[in-house]
Structure 1
Amino acid sequence: MSTEYPSVRARARIHAALGDPARLAIVDTLALGDASPGEIAHALDMPTNLVAHHVKVLAETELVTRTRSEADRRRTYLRLNPDALATLAPPQLAPAGRVVFVCTHNSARSQLAAALWRDRTGRPVACAGTRPAARVHPRAVTVAHRHGLTLDPTRTAHLRDVAVDETDLVVAVCDNAYEDLTGPARPRLHWSVPDPVRVDTDAAFEAAYTDLAGRVDRLATALPDEPGAAAR
């Protein structure tokens, strides 16, 4: 994932503007509707000259724009610019034809990640291990079923069997896979999820599931669909 420096600088300026509690309060006040500077001052119990100062800072970052009332041309309204707020989100990844989750044994973390991705996005997905076990761990199957997901206890795969290519997004969900893999299968993302098999308790597998679920949801918003990917 590449991030253009000017984009980072612009986002940093917006973050800096929002770092003042008074300016953040003004943005919150404008979240659902427009208001005049006087109305802002009244709502926040703030001197009008201080409101003017903060509005100037917000306007310089294009978070807030000023418009004239169509009724009383002497009155100014402040409007929040949602597009400026939207730029605060991290930039999206390049489209991928498939997400491939990889761990060492393909018996727990990569299996759960793939099941979550399939369930929550419906997009193409695969999972594999660098040294796959003979079976999926029973506690992984149990925690998956507890959350409405299905894992095939007998289905594990070696990374070479899933035919990774340059269109795939490879995600290492364990430190060993991330540090060991090179070449075309080198992971583009690394999720340092603790191995629940080491602890081998229901709580450890539940913690791994919760960690992976949050990461899958965040990845889903950052990874656009590739045209025609669903047909693969």
Structure 2
Amino acid sequence: MAHTPRVLFVCVHNAGRSQMAAGLLRAMAGDRIEARTAGSEPADALNPVAVAAMAEIGIDISGARPVALTDDAVGLADVVVTMGCGEVCPYFPGISYRDWVLSDPAGQPIEVVRGIREHLRILIGNLIAELVPVPTR
């Protein structure tokens, strides 16, 4: 059985960008890639505008909860994608790290969050193509 790649999305509050990215990855990759999230300073709840922006495209992230970033979470990942959390993410040799530069949706109107969602959709598509390429014949 093939290994299922594990991706950890990390942002400061784990309430917007990382949750949106995980929702998109789950929707676009299905069970081909495992998505997890964490935050360096997790919020108490998800950003409601991020939840609404995702609901517009049929992805429900309302059941997700912000969680704290741990060494264990990083150590279990094949790829760690950071989004504006700076140097707080622990480094483990052998894990692939990416830093995606995206605006923070906190306090932003839905129009701005839609733009973040669409930027994430492109980045997620590229990540899927890299991690589980379609075999050529």
Fold match, TM over 0.5? yes
Aligned to 1:140: 50
User: 1:103 aligned to 2:16?
Assistant: no
Query: Once the 2 structures are TM-superposed, how far is the Cα of residue 165 of structure 1 from its aligned partner?
Result: 1.6
Alignment of 1:158-197 (within 5 A): 158-160=68-70, 163-165=73-75, 167-174=77-84, 177-184=85-92, 188-197=97-106
Root-mean-square deviation (CA), in Å? Answer: 2.4
Question: Is it true that 1:113 corresponds to 2:21 in the alignment?
Answer: yes
Q: How far 1:162 sits from its partner (Å)? A: 6.3
**Equivalent residue letter for 1:213:** R
Q: Any idea what the Cα deviations from partners look like across 1:78-125, whole Å, max 9, x if unmatched?
A: xxxxxxxxxxxxxxxxx7630110100001000000000000001211
Give the aligned partner of residue 126 of structure 2: 218
Structure 2, unaligned stretches of length 5 or more?
A: none
Which digits, 9 at most, give the CA deviation of each residue in 1:138-192, with x for residues without a partner?
A: 0011001001101135611111286222552100122xx2433233398610100
Among 65, 89, 109, the residue aligned to 1:155 = 65
Contact 2:19 2:64 in 1 (8 A): no
Quick one: which amino acid aligns to residue 126 of structure 1?
R
Point out the structure with max Rg over C-alpha.
1
Aligned residue in 2 for 1:127: 37
- Which stretches in structure 1 are left out of the alignment for 5+ residues? 1-94, 226-232
Question: Counting helix residues as a fraction of each chain, which structure ranks higher?
Answer: 1
Q: Which has the higher contact order (CA 8 A, sep 6+)?
A: 2
* 2:117 counterpart of 1:209: yes
Instruction: Return the letter of the residue paired with 2:73.
Output: A
SS at match of 1:188: strand
CA distance in 1, matches of 2:69, 2:77: 15
> Whole-Å Cα distance in 2 between the matches of residues 203 and 162 of structure 1?
36
1:38-93 CA distances to partner (integer Å, 9 max, x unpaired)? xxxxxxxxxxxxxxxxxxxxxxxxxxxxxxxxxxxxxxxxxxxxxxxxxxxxxxxx
Q: What's 1:28 paired with?
A: none
Cα deviation 1:173-214 (Å, max 9, x = unaligned)? 22xx2433233398610100011215x211111111011001
Q: Distance in 1 between matches of 2:44 and 2:127?
A: 29
Matched to 2:60, the amino acid is T
Q: Give the letter for the 1:136 counterpart.
A: L
Alignment of 1:71-90 (within 5 A): none
- SS of corresponding position for 1:196: coil
Answer yes or no: is the 8 Å Cα contact 1:96–1:169 preserved in 2.
no
